[in-house]
Amino acid sequence: MLVNVNVKNLALINKVDIFLKDGLNIMTGETGAGKSIIIGSILIALGGRVPKDIVRDESKEALIELEFDIKNENLRKQLREQNVDIDDEGTLIISRKIINGRSNIKVNGENFTTANLKKITELLIDIHGQHDHQSLLKTTKQLDILDDFASENIGDIKDRIRKEYKVYNQLQQELSEFDIDDDKRKRELDFCHYEIDEIEKANLKEGEVAEIELMYKKISSSKNILEKMNEVYGIIGEDGYNSVSQKIGEAYKLALSASENDEELNGIVDSLADLESICNDTKRAINDYVEDMSFDDEQAKYVEERLDLLNRLRQKYENKKKYDDPVKNILYYKECQEEKVKKLENLDVRKKELADKIENSRTSLDKLSEKLTNIRKKSGKELSGKIVEVLFGLNFLDARFDIEFKKKADFSPNGTDEIEFMISTNPGEELKPLEKIASGGELSRIMLGIKTIMASKDDIETLIFDEIDTGISGRTAQMVAQRLKEISSAHQVICITHLPQIAAMADEHFLIEKSVVDNVTQTNIIRLDENQSVNELARMLGGAEITEAVRENAREMKKLAGC
């Protein structure tokens, strides 16, 4: 579960440190106090987009840090599979720093990319935002919900369909490439033969690009190199008093003469002898290099022309950079063209082979898709029954729910099913698509009901509901509050709400408020004790004036909620 949220220098937040507990954590506050900033901060830490100008003070870094306590062993195993090192205590810390428009993400001290972070966080938290219930109107989202519900039974078959569809799609694309008339086929063949012949005539050798480039560089720089080496030779070995070789020779003779009277100078004499030998060896090496450093015009012309040819072939044929060596890439292109020639020369035979393979793939996809449909329909009946049951507990007293199946005209990586959630919320009404029946408040409750069902099927420990109370009040609000309380018995629930019925159920109650410090507006969050919680409930109940009667009503709500 999420045990701590630490936010610094973000939007209206200077510094906020929130310690959360298991059960139902409720956050309330006046409109505009910054409740959305809290959830927004969590979303950023979980890998979400960083809005422009979100950093409060651009001269300082912004920080969002989330600390989790992971008790579920299966969840720990899944996190380890994502290369997350979980200690024996189950501590997981996600931090995201933002400075100068750039962000750095760490998970338990290790750097992570945003893409990898999202793979982790989807195992930890399920967030339902203010407008997420609108996604429920999309049939693609509805299919995702059904598949999540049936995941234990369909995971393997969906993988098999995805793999077979990839084969099917590749075969279709290959067949479309051969859908050409005889004239075009001949032109394609002529062009392939031309390219193959051009590459073969070049007599390419692996590694020769680097070799020719080095030779060209050496030839083109030979004049400059010879001038410098001649200058070096002049410094080291040219006859005359100022040459290094001459001076070392004289030094050697003087030291040798002196050593005749003192044996302690023998080491210095040996060193000078070595220096004289090194100078002589270096002189010979320079002479040898200069003698070898001679290129006739024919050799220089060959290197230049060969390099031009290699560069031209690279520009034309090194479009598939499979290898580090450019020549190997060109030869690989030639192999591809040779394979294409074989296919074009045997076009009718190849088309027949592809047609047979496509038919076999279609048959396999059809069987797999039918099997997937049958499992989905069976799971759909079970899900429909559970949704009706949970909707009754959310004040849909006579709701009916069903999932309608249609078959697509062609295959997809997800089978051939199109589904639509059908609902009737009043007696005597026909089942109709969800988008034609449900209001905003009803959608919120339906999504809550679905979240309730799905929460029992996964290992996600923390659920966040951001103002799921949209469009509801009265008895319905009370039933939604009870449902959230039920969910919190098995999961940590964090809920931002405007409804006192929901806030009264809190195991932990936090007040989000704005204040002005030194003429600067900032958002703070305060953990409320029982009396403070009653006062906040009274504010939510009473409006402009909070009377003792309103406070008594708030106390009664807390008492009835069992908090």
Q: What integer pLDDT is reported at residue 133 of this predicted model?
A: 61
What is the DSSP-derived secondary structure letter of residue 206?
T
Least confident of 212-216, 421-425, 442-446, 470-474: 470-474
Task: Calculate the alpha carbon distances from 407 to 82, 252, 369, 373, 419 in Å.
Answer: 36, 99, 10, 9, 9
At residue 86, φ and ψ (nearest 5 deg) are: -105, 125
pLDDT of residue 218 exceeding 90, the answer is no
- Rounded to whole angstroms, how far apart are CA atoms 14 and 63? 10
Better-predicted residue by pLDDT, 257 or 366:
366
Residue 546 C-beta-side C-alpha neighbours within 13 Å: 12
**Mean pLDDT to the nearest integer, 495-510:** 90
| DSSP 3-state of 264 | helix
Task: Calculate the alpha carbon distances from 386 to 149, 232, 375, 446 in Å.
Answer: 11, 91, 17, 12
For the chain, how far is it from start to end, CA to CA, in angstroms?
21
Least confident of 82-86, 328-332, 456-460: 456-460
pLDDT of residue 44 exceeding 60, the answer is yes
Mean pLDDT, the chain, whole residue set: 86
pLDDT of residue 238 exceeding 70, the answer is no
Q: What integer pLDDT is reported at residue 543 of this predicted model?
A: 64
Q: Are 50 and 44 in contact (CB under 8 A)?
A: yes
* Length of the chain measured in residues: 563
- Rounded to whole angstroms, how far apart are CA atoms 140 and 30? 36
287-306 CB burial, b ≥16 within 10 A, e <16: eeeeeeeeeeeeeeeebeeb
Q: Which helix (H) or strand (E) holds 522?
A: strand 520-528
Read off the pLDDT of residues 125-157 as tens digits, 9 standing for 90 and up: 887 765 566 677 888 889 988 998 898 889 899
Q: Are 26 and 525 in contact (CB under 8 A)?
A: no
Least confident of 270-274, 354-358, 415-419, 470-474: 470-474
Q: What integer pLDDT is reported at residue 434 of this predicted model?
A: 83
- Rounded to whole angstroms, how far apart are CA atoms 530 and 533? 5
- Rounded to whole angstroms, how far apart are CA atoms 175 and 178? 5
Question: Cα–chain-centroid distance for residue 535?
Answer: 44
Task: Calculate the alpha carbon distances from 187 to 66, 86, 132 in Å.
Answer: 63, 62, 55
Residue 409 CB partners (closer than 8 Å, separation 6+): none
Question: Cα–chain-centroid distance for residue 546?
Answer: 49
> Would you state the structure tokens that stand for residue 28, as one six-digit string?
């309330």
Q: What integer pLDDT is reported at residue 397 of this predicted model?
A: 80
pTM of the full structure: 0.63
pLDDT of residue 509 exceeding 90, the answer is yes
- Rounded to whole angstroms, how far apart are CA atoms 437 and 475? 21
**Mean pLDDT to the nearest integer, 15-19:** 91
Confidence category of residue 215, pLDDT binned at 50, 70, 90 = confident
The share of the chain scoring above pLDDT 90, in percent, equals: 29
Which of 82-86, 294-298, 342-346, 494-498 is modeled with the greatest confidence?
494-498
Q: What integer pLDDT is reported at residue 489 of this predicted model?
A: 85
Q: Are 129 and 39 in contact (CB under 8 A)?
A: yes
Read off the pLDDT of residues 349-365 as tens digits, 9 standing for 90 and up: 888 888 999 999 999 99
